[in-house]
Amino acid sequence: MAYLAGFLDGDGSIYVRLKPNSTYKYGFQVAPYVVFFQSSKSKENFEKACSLMNFGYTRERKDGIMEFIIGKNEDIKKFLKIVKPYSIMKKQQILLMIEILDFKEKIKSKEEFEVLIKLINRFQELNYSKKRKLRALTP
């Protein structure tokens, strides 16, 4: 598991997006991800490393990059809890993502959803994101 934590720290990303979607209760879908990246030149070794996990899927992009994507909430939480003790570079993102996923399960009001938005916006500082923050829900 220490190997996977190091792989995540070096060639991985933890992020969560709010996607506008009118079919969701508050008008947004919360989309968390853990993604690993590697050149397709190392496809065999990349797939071997990813096979250590019992969830997620691999895809090859047109630009020659392989991605291993974990997108299911429970899988993300399970994986992050396993690698948390070994991570150095992404420890804050791991803790924040676990907090977001736990909080998301308990939301019962628009006000609580707005608290979730604030938690998600904290990723902007941790991940050097240049995208705009969502401030609050519109009526």
- pLDDT tens-digit map of 9-48: 998 999 998 899 999 999 999 999 999 999 989 888 888 8
CATH numbers and ranges of domains, the chain: 2-126 (3.10.28.10)
Report which of residues 59 and 137 the model is more confident about: 59
Please say whether the dihedral angle defined by the alpha carbons of residues 98, 100, 102 and 104, taken in this order, is positive or negative.
negative
Considering the entire predicted model, what is its pTM? 0.85
Report which of residues 36 and 3 the model is more confident about: 36
| Measured distance CA(114)–CA(74) in Å, rounded | 22
Is residue 124 very low, low, confident or very high in pLDDT (cuts 50, 70, 90)? confident
Question: Is the model's pLDDT at 135 over the cut of 60?
Answer: no
- pLDDT tens-digit map of 48-84: 888 888 889 999 999 999 999 999 999 999 999 999 9
3-state secondary structure at position 131: coil
